[in-house]
Structure 1
Amino acid sequence: MTKIAVKIPGLTMKNPLMPASGTFGFGDTPASTKFDLNQMGAMVMKTATVSSRTGNPQPQIKVLEDGVLNSVGLTNPGVDSVVADKILPFKAKYPDLPIVASVGGSSVADYVEVAGKLANSGAVSALEINVSCPNVANGGMHFGTDPEVVENLTSKVKAASGQVPIYVKLTPNVTDIAVIAKAAENGGADGVSLINTILGLEIDLKTCRPVLGNNYGGLSGQSVQPVALRMVNQVYQAVKLPIIGMGGIATAEDVAKFMLAGASAVAVGTAHFKDSLAIPHIAAELPRVLDEMGVSDINDLVGQLKFN
């Protein structure tokens, strides 16, 4: 029988699939009610911040032919409410489903506070550190683009999270993503997840204005997959950390590609715009794809890409 279960720090998963952060909100979006979420390997929550946030100006989302451009912003009720009103009730409903909570902030102190409160909830299996947030305390630069900042932030969040493993979510909007991944590893990360969205722009010719209220937005979906695969493979070669890969995954074949490139697990996001049951559909197809590849254990795929 083909084995599709995977195990990475903090996460013992029946399959390698989880929703990308924000895709299912806090388990309270219409998409998250369409199937039994226990069919997923893990649940990834929307990013929490110290205080409540309302998000960016409308419109926040533009669906393109081969992807989605979004500038939703980190809309959330604040970490205290996220724990009490979102995560704890979700854990009560799905006690056996591993939960990955997402940590955001505008300063190192923010990240430390949010990570500590999420970890201390007792309900999360791992934390994903969203270092693509604008670093307000340092002139608006994104945390995830400076190796020294990433290493420092990772070490402080790691100290605050106690026994809960942390995965640093890497932005692709950098010159060399391997350098950033090494910084996360040096800071004590238990793993990395990548890629976050690629900064993009779409223009409406009738108005001569950007289609998004915040002008620029993050591009995700099928169009970014080759970039994501390249970056996952570069990071796999650079660090010894497990990788959660994402970027345009919509089929079981896509999952196999990401694992060959070096991912140990994957996240699905934009595919849900076309198929709200994307994760259970992909999970059901995985054994067939592995059988066709002559693979009996999905973990045997990890990093087995053969270069020309």
Structure 2
Amino acid sequence: MANLSVNIGGLELQNPVMTASGTFGYGEEFTPFIDINRLGAYIIKGTTLNPRQGNDYPRMVETPAGMLNAVGLQNKGVDYFIEHIYPRIKDYKSHLIVNVSGANVEDYAETARRLHPLDGVKAIEVNISCPNVKEGGMAFGTTTSGAAAVTKAVREAYPGKTLIVKLSPNVTSIADIARAVEAEGADSVSLINTLMGMSIDVEKRRPHLSTVTGGLSGPAVRPVAVRMVWQVAKAVNIPVVGLGGIMNGRDAIEFMLAGARAIEIGTANFVDPAVTMKVIDYMEDYCQRHGISDINEIVGCI
């Protein structure tokens, strides 16, 4: 068996397969379908300092080769998570990573500060790229100064533990954003978050989503994501986590060849709740077929 373990900013994963925030709940919802302990890590849904109701319905719509969502970070806030949810999910062998978002820099930092003492939370993923909220979110991820400010504040509030920053594709130069967060202490970057999209009901002559626009995910975005991962992997010295339309093992390997050291699976979880297990199996088979003893050998090797 090949070695599938990878290191993401000091966090050792047993394999490169993680779940994308917002598509995997708190993990426990998927226990009837998969063995969570086999995952490299599972990233739970976006968590904010204060409770959020999310956007009005409708907030999801299927599109050709993908979907649009405008959920809007619905959650009960970090304190509720710490008190009620964390005790139920902290003991899996797979690493627990919390996705963090905020309306302003202070919110990001305070949320990270409250999560820091939790031994079961091995890392946080800072979401500066959500296109579905009116405040914060993508607003911080579209400029180098905004991305740097959030990263610096969170790094100070979250010392000594792995900090991943999730990047937006809705920018002119994602490599510049990646370099900015690396300079302020990010241990890793994950990309891409969803692309801005829109869908219209031609009979009713109005947008399908209550927010008009939303985040496009699924296989339609994969070529864009692979290109951006390739660009960022050449621009920074920290590990890159790739995501965007990964539906099977071949897609996951493609991201790693482009430069990703680990991957996240998102929309595919809705299609096949067991997809993560199949991707891990595919990676093992791929390494065996190609005579690869360590999966790290293929990272960025095109």
Output the TM-score relative to the length of structure 2.
0.95
1:75 match: 74
Q: Is the 8 A contact 1:49 1:79 kept in 2?
A: yes
Q: Is the 8 A contact 2:128 2:138 kept in 1?
A: no
SS at match of 2:90: helix
Shift of 1:120: 1.9
Shift of 1:85: 1.1
Show CA shifts across 1:149-198 (max 9, x none). 11121111001002111011000000000000000011110010000000
Q: List gaps (5 residues or longer) in structure 1.
A: none
Identity %: 43
Distance in 2 of aligned mates of 1:135 and 1:128 = 20
Q: Is the 8 A contact 1:12 1:98 kept in 2?
A: no
Residue 3 of structure 2 is aligned to residue 3 of structure 1:
yes
Select 1:289's aligned residue among 286, 289, 300.
Answer: 286
Any residues of structure 2 matched to 1:208-227 within 5 Å, and which?
208-227=205-224
Any residues of structure 2 matched to 1:150-299 within 5 Å, and which?
150-299=147-296
Distance in 1 of aligned mates of 2:173 and 2:125 = 21
Residue 105 of structure 2 is aligned to residue 108 of structure 1:
yes
Deviates most, 168-177 or 244-253 = 244-253
Any residues of structure 2 matched to 1:20-59 within 5 Å, and which?
20-29=20-29, 31-59=30-58
Distance in 2 of aligned mates of 1:63 and 1:40 = 27
Distance in 1 of aligned mates of 2:83 and 2:203 = 46
Shift of 1:33: 3.4
Q: Is the 8 A contact 2:24 2:269 kept in 1?
A: no
Shift of 1:32: 4.5
2:65 match: 66
Q: 1:135 to 1:142 in 2, by over 3 A?
A: farther
Distance in 2 of aligned mates of 1:212 and 1:28 = 28
Distance in 2 of aligned mates of 1:135 and 1:295 = 46
Residue 160 of structure 2 is aligned to residue 149 of structure 1:
no
Distance in 1 of aligned mates of 2:10 and 2:107 = 23
SS at match of 1:122: coil
SS at match of 1:105: coil
Shift of 1:27: 2.1
SS at match of 1:68: strand
Q: Is the 8 A contact 2:241 2:260 kept in 1?
A: yes
Letter in 2 for 1:235: V
Q: List gaps (5 residues or longer) in structure 2.
A: none
SS at match of 2:189: strand
Q: Is the 8 A contact 1:70 1:219 kept in 2?
A: yes
Show CA shifts across 1:84-141 (max 9, x none). 211232013x1x221111111001000000011111222211110000245737xx97
Q: 1:53 to 1:33 in 2, by over 3 A?
A: farther
